[in-house]
Amino acid sequence: MTSSLWKFNAVDTTLLLLATAVDDVPSIVWYGENLPADIDVRRLQAITDLPLPMAKFDAPVPVSLFPERSSGIDCAPALRGHRDGSAFDHRFKRVAVVTQTDGLTVELADEVAGLALSIALTLHEKTGVLSIVTTLVNQSAEPYTVDWLASASMPLPGQYRECMHIHGRWGLEFQTQRSEIATGVLLLQSHRGRTSHERYPGVVVGESGFGEQTGDVMAANLAWSGSHSTTVELLSDGRLVYQAGVSLDPGELRLGAGESYSAPSVHFTRQAGMNAASHSLHRFMREKILPHWTRIQRPVHANSWEALYFNHDIKTLQALIDAAAEVGAERFVLDDGWFPARRSDHAGLGDWVVDTTIYPQGLHPVVDHVRSKGMQFGLWFEPEMVNPDSEIYRNHPDWALHLAPYDTPLARNQLVLNIDKPEVFDYLYNCIAALVKEYKVDYIKWDHNRDIVLAGDGVRSKMAKQTLACYRLIDKLTTEFESLEIESCSSGGARADWGILKYTGRVWTSDSIDAIDRVKIQRGYSYFNPPEIMGAHVGHAEAHLTGRDINIHTRAIVALQGQFGYEIDARVLDDAEIKTLRHYVALYKQHRSWISQSTTWRLESAVEHLVCSGLVSADQNTSLWFATAVSSLSSTLPGSFVLKGLQPERDYRVSLVSDNLSQLSAFTKKIPAWLNEPITLNGKLLMTVGLTLPVMPAQTAILLEVNAA
């Protein structure tokens, strides 16, 4: 018998791969809920045997781990490349399979094409997440140009007909959109050199109408921070194929003799409903992706940006630091404007030394003042960028990415440095390391404020190498400075993918701190990322990006859904506002120890414009629940708050902990009785009947604490 079967089990998931000939590339014939232990390969082959329709090739073609045009498969090939126009196709054969307890590596080769390939599949035992990594090796003496190499090709269940993906723009990231899967290709791409505001590299595909709690779904997430491409393709024969990978510039990836290229990994989970998919991904991310320090209690941030912008002076900063400490901040971050000529965004970027005209003693007076208040010190950088009006650019204009003889368009008055160039890499590392060492910097806000075009060294594209060099630079810094924490900011949430989050452990989710916009931004973010790494700050009453005026309770309640902090001038707060913010800081500090292992529950509301969610501790003893009316509700009554994730046999004490009952009372003749004082209820009752919500006017929110009695 020439057929081969490989079977792997995780906590709630089975992975089956089948090859029907001795040298065939295996196909995934099942990835999903656990199957019986005694699966017979002959019977499995029989029930997965493909029929042969008319007007097709003379032999059926399965969707293998590596679809190829030469096989006759209808879907997009996993590899497109050539040797100066020749060797434009290939046919890989299986030469070896190396198995481990949690997966296998399939070794493939095409001796005629001079190419070798390995595809590593790992099934994470605790979560059922399947990770796939593909590596291509040029075994010929002649260079091979790669136009496209899929990180993974995954056959999807035939009943899937809907795809949810993440889109957006600056200031309104992580918006969800559903697309019907019809014959042809659903294509999601970014050619911008970063993940982008517009196209997050993750999708959820499933049965029509799948929801938070119901429907067979598969989530897929490409761990890459640069240009990328994802396709969901419905073939004319009814089969459905997912594919994702790096979107390469022409001629960008050219492998010399013996050189190899590993495509970024793709991570999959298959579950019932989007909540369960998120639970699986969050657990996997915490265990396998995120830096170790994200397990430590996350401090309350205070950032100087919206309080000062570029208007720096020591006395003003010291007053701001005092005010931040007064409202419970534990880390103060000095944002943009501390280096020479940086009185606007027109100049100075790239000159990473302290501006002695503002700080004659360096940053020591500011840092010392921060430390005297018991706070950590953070500093803003944008290492990958440069202003043409800077000393470093005047001395080294060739350090900027460019394609001669074209002028590179500016964005935010800046260009992009070629950080793959060794002397640029070393310059940036030495500058940042010197400042981290001198001031014992605890935290870096690492920004990236523009899309990349003409990403070359003058002749050839460096787009993908730019992303890899960024990873290396951050990794070198955090290796030398083990306690240093780094946040990924990219004019908000344009680089919030799993590629960068292997090296950073916090995301600035959006430059918009408008709490109403933030509700949906944060909800979209939660599909793939856990709450403890999401920067979520209380902004000013009038949101700087939208002009919307939002009450302080709503601003604080929304910020409590992530890593809490301030983007506010605390000097202008009155006593009542300070008291209110201290109340919410106390709640954050009370609960943050378990939030880093919490389970996120997005609730579905029948009432339009009401958004509800919760965070439940791993032991199910404690939880926080949020309800926000983002605008006027579609009905006068908001209905019931039906909780999830509790233990049905246990009793829970339910308390309204948002300090805004008097505010809500002004909009109703009667408040539901349970809101007036804590009530103890059975978990089953809370997850079936639920709690009647109060009348909620536009832009109001409530926060509940539910603890095991």
> Quick one: which of 174, 169, 284 has its CA closest to 509?
174
pLDDT tops 90 at residue 578: yes
> Quick one: which of 679, 668, 468, 660 has its CA closest to 580?
660
What 3 state SS string does 176-188 have?
EEEEECCCEEEEE
The DSSP bridge partners found for residue 97 are: 106
Residues in CB range of 24: below 8 A, 6 or more apart: 64, 93, 94
26 and 41 Cβ atoms separated by less than 8 Å: no
pLDDT at 54: 82
Domains of the chain listed by start with CATH number: 4-289 (2.70.98.60), 298-384+421-447+477-593 (3.20.20.70), 601-708 (2.60.40.1180)
d(CA 519, CA 658): 16
Q: How many CB atoms lie within 10 A of CB 516?
A: 24
Provide the angle, in degrees to the nearest 10, between the axes of the packed helices 364-372 and 314-326: 20
Residue 675: DSSP 8-state: G
Query: What mean pLDDT is predicted for residues 17-41?
Result: 90
pLDDT tops 80 at residue 576: yes
Query: What mean pLDDT is predicted for residues 392-419?
Result: 97
Residue with tokens 């009372």: 665
> Quick one: which of 603, 703, 613, 692 has its CA closest to 659?
703
CA atoms within 13 A on the CB side of 139: 12
pLDDT at 23: 87
pLDDT tops 80 at residue 2: no
Residue 621: C-alpha distances to residues 493, 532, 683 (Å)? 32, 18, 11
User: Would the CA dihedral through 520, 522, 523, 529 be positive or negative?
Assistant: positive
Confidence of residue 74 (pLDDT cuts 50, 70, 90): confident
3-state secondary structure of 127: coil
pLDDT tops 70 at residue 208: yes
Confidence of residue 643 (pLDDT cuts 50, 70, 90): very high
What are residue 294's phi and psi, to 5 degrees?
-70, -10
Confidence of residue 633 (pLDDT cuts 50, 70, 90): very high
The DSSP bridge partners found for residue 692 are: 640
> Quick one: which of 581, 559, 561 has its CA closest to 570?
581
What are residue 359's phi and psi, to 5 degrees?
-120, 75
pLDDT digits (tens, 9 = 90+) for 269-298: 999 999 999 999 999 999 999 999 999 999
pLDDT at 414: 98
d(CA 49, CA 35): 19
Query: What mean pLDDT is predicted for residues 652-669?
Result: 93
pLDDT tops 90 at residue 94: yes
pLDDT at 43: 85
What are residue 156's phi and psi, to 5 degrees?
-105, 150
Provide the angle, in degrees to the nearest 10, between the axes of the packed helices 552-559 and 575-595: 20
What is the residue-averaged pLDDT of the chain?
A: 96
Question: Residue 580 CA to chain centroid, in angstroms?
Answer: 31
pLDDT tops 60 at residue 704: yes
3-state secondary structure of 666: coil
pLDDT digits (tens, 9 = 90+) for 211-234: 999 999 999 999 999 999 999 999
d(CA 399, CA 709): 62
- 8 membership: H or E segment, kind and range: strand 4-9
What are residue 559's phi and psi, to 5 degrees?
-65, -30
d(CA 576, CA 580): 6
- 326 membership: H or E segment, kind and range: helix 314-326
User: What is the token pair recorded at 276?
Assistant: 């369960």
pLDDT digits (tens, 9 = 90+) for 525-572: 999 999 999 999 999 999 999 999 999 999 999 999 999 999 999 999
d(CA 114, CA 133): 21
pLDDT at 563: 97
CA angle 343, 346, 352 (to 5 degrees): 70
pLDDT digits (tens, 9 = 90+) for 426-457: 999 999 999 999 999 999 999 999 999 999 99
CA angle 691, 695, 700 (to 5 degrees): 100
pLDDT at 44: 84
d(CA 1, CA 704): 62
CA angle 188, 190, 196 (to 5 degrees): 115
Report the percent of the chain where pLDDT is more than 90: 93
Which residues does the annotation mark as catalytic? 447, 511
Q: Give the global pTM.
A: 0.96
pLDDT at 36: 86
d(CA 202, CA 218): 11
Report the percent of the chain where pLDDT is more than 70: 100
pLDDT digits (tens, 9 = 90+) for 111-145: 999 999 999 999 999 999 999 999 999 999 999 99
What 3 state SS string does 515-563 have?
HHHHHHHHHHHHCCCCHHHEEEEECCCECCCCCCECCHHHHHHHHCCCE
690 and 658 Cβ atoms separated by less than 8 Å: no
Q: What is the DSSP string of 582-599?
A: HHHHHHHHHHHHHHTT-E
